[in-house]
Structures are given as structure tokens and as C-alpha cells.
């Protein structure tokens, strides 16, 4: 899982996982303060443990986890001690797909595609145009790659690495992309936080496609993570060829 834990605006740790599976049915991705995310994972670990210990055949689905996270985030905000994260929670349970988000002040909602930070401004318009109910896995990946590429081009502190998380349950799945980078949390200096990282989730419906059978077999039910890979980018624009031709001495 490639992702940076930032140290101020330095992209310091480049191998940090920012998406984690929660229970049997969900995936949680976070942007913002990493240590707060780790604390949330501890809370969730205890929640899932107690749920499992009932041993009654029931398990916490993405809707339940989303609600729990909302309560935690909102109550912390009310105590003026927030967990400084924007969370994205996706999953599939009993064939029902779910995708939701919670911000650090407790704002929460469900949608077909969500993003954090700059993703809201650069990627969601693309998703609004191109998302539709019956996306296949490959189409979903293509759309998200397109979004990621735009973000890479337009955000000065983007890093060109990403990884795909896939949660499959029977025929439905949730796709999570995690971009590497842009975890600018200025918590260390106490200045205003500028969160510009991207965690994308879309909810396509998996068609019964023979080319996808390999993926389906590997995962059956559960979560699968791809190997990290780089996006292809194109920098050969004429304006970039001789940048100083109009103004000598500039760079």
C-alpha cells in the first residue's frame, strides 16, 4: 500500500496504508492525521471483536460501521477535540453495496462516489459525468485512473503511485483507490490544515464477465488488494519544451 504519511508539507513516509479492511464487509479509507486514523482503527477493532464474540452468525456491515464512525467523530467535535480525518467507508453486505463518508466535524452522507480534499473539486465532476449504475470492474478502474491522472497533473504535491482495493461479495463490489501523497496535515505546527489527498470510492456493479473470473476466484468473498502501480502520464506538450524561450533567465 503506497501512501505518504506527511510531515508538514514534506511527503515523508511513502509506504503507509491508508485504507484498511474493517470486519468482513467493509473498507475504511482516511485522509488527514494518520495517528487519529490509527486510533480510529483501535476503536473499530474493539467494536468488531465484541461483535464477533457473540458468535451468532451476525456481523457488522458497512452501514453499521459508518454510523458508529459518525457518532465517534461528531461527539469528539462537540468536545472540541476532533479526530482530524475525513473518512470514506465502503463495503458490500448481503449483496447490498454501500458507500459513505464522514468528516472531522461529523458531517456524514452516502453517495455513489465520494472523494476527500481536492478530489471533491477535480475528480467528482468527472465521476458525475461518467459514473453509471452498471459499471464493470475495468471501466471503474479506468474512470478512477482518469481522475487520479487529473489530480496528479493539477496538484503540486501528488505522487505517481496508487493501489486498488477491491471488496467483492457475490456479484457486487466496491472499488477503492488510494492515491499516494498529499497528506498535508499541518497539525504539527498548529496552523490551518490543508487536506489535499484523494481517496476514491465508486460503486459499480460487477457483470458476470469471464475475463473477470480470475479476480472473482481469488477473492470470492472478501477484500483483495492489487500491487501498486504507476499511472502513465504525458508531459510532451510544446509549452514544456522550451519554457524559457519567451523570457530569458527565467526557469
Partner 1 sequence: MSSIGTGYDLSVTTFSPDGRVFQIEYAAKAVDNSGTVIGIKCKDGVVMGVEKLVASKMMLPGSNRRIHSVHRHSGMSVAGLAADGRQIVARAKSEATNYESVYGEAIPVKELAERVASYVHLCTLYWWLRPFGCGVILGGYDRDGPQLYMVEPSGVSYRYFGAAIGKGRQAAKTEIEKLKLSELTCRQGVIEVAKIIYGIHDEAKDKEFELELSWVCDESNRQHQKVPEELLEEAKAAAKAALEEMDAD
Applying CB under 8 A, which residues contact partner 1?
42, 46, 49, 52-53, 55
C-alpha cell at 56: 451468532
| Separation of alpha carbons 216 and 211, rounded Å | 10
- With a CB cutoff of 8 Å and minimum separation 6, the contacts of 166 are 137, 173, 174, 175, 176, 215, 219, 223, 224, 225, 226
C-alpha cell at 150: 487529473
User: Shortest Cβ distance from residue 151 to partner 1 (Å)?
Assistant: 36
User: Shortest Cβ distance from residue 55 to partner 1 (Å)?
Assistant: 6
Question: Which C-beta is closer to partner 1: that of 17 or that of 110?
Answer: 17
User: Shortest Cβ distance from residue 45 to partner 1 (Å)?
Assistant: 9
Question: Which C-beta is closer to partner 1: that of 52 or that of 120?
Answer: 52
Question: Which C-beta is closer to partner 1: that of 60 or that of 151?
Answer: 60
User: Shortest Cβ distance from residue 53 to partner 1 (Å)?
Assistant: 4
| Separation of alpha carbons 184 and 205, rounded Å | 33
Question: Which C-beta is closer to partner 1: that of 42 or that of 156?
Answer: 42
Amino acid at each position: 500500500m503506497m501512501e505518504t504519511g506527511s510531515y508538514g508539507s514534506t511527503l515523508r513516509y511513502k509506504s503507509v496504508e491508508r485504507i484498511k479492511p474493517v470486519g468482513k464487509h467493509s473498507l475504511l479509507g482516511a485522509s488527514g492525521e494518520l495517528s487519529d486514523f490509527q486510533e480510529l482503527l483501535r476503536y473499530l477493532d474493539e467494536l468488531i471483536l465484541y461483535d464477533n464474540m457473540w458468535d451468532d452468525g451476525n456481523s457488522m456491515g458497512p452501514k453499521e460501521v459508518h454510523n458508529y464512525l459518525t457518532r465517534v467523530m461528531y461527539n469528539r467535535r462537540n468536545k472540541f477535540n476532533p479526530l482530524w480525518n475525513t473518512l470514506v467507508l465502503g463495503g458490500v453486505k448481503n449483496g447490498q453495496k454501500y458507500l459513505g463518508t464522514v468528516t472531522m466535524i461529523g458531517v456524514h452522507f452516502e453517495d455513489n462516489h465520494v472523494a476527500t480534499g481536492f478530489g471533491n473539486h477535480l475528480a467528482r465532476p468527472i465521476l458525475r459525468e461518467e459514473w453509471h449504475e452498471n459499471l464493470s470492474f475495468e471501466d471503474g478502474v479506468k474512470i478512477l485512473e482518469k481522475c487520479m491522472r487529473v489530480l496528479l497533473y493539477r496538484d503540486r504535491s501528488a505522487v505517481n503511485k496508487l493501489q486498488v482495493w477491491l471488496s467483492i461479495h457475490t456479484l457486487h463490489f466496491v472499488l477503492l483507490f488510494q492515491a499516494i501523497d498529499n497528506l498535508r496535515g499541518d497539525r504539527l505546527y498548529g496552523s490551518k490544515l490543508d487536506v489535499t489527498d484523494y481517496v476514491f470510492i465508486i460503486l459499480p456493479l460487477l457483470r458476470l464477465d469471464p475475463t473477470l473470473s480470475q479476480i472473482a476466484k481469488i477473492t470470492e468473498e472478501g477484500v483483495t488488494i492489487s500491487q501498486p502501480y504507476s499511472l502513465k502520464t504525458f508531459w510532451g506538450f510544446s509549452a514544456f519544451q522550451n519554457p524559457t524561450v519567451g523570457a530569458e533567465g527565467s526557469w
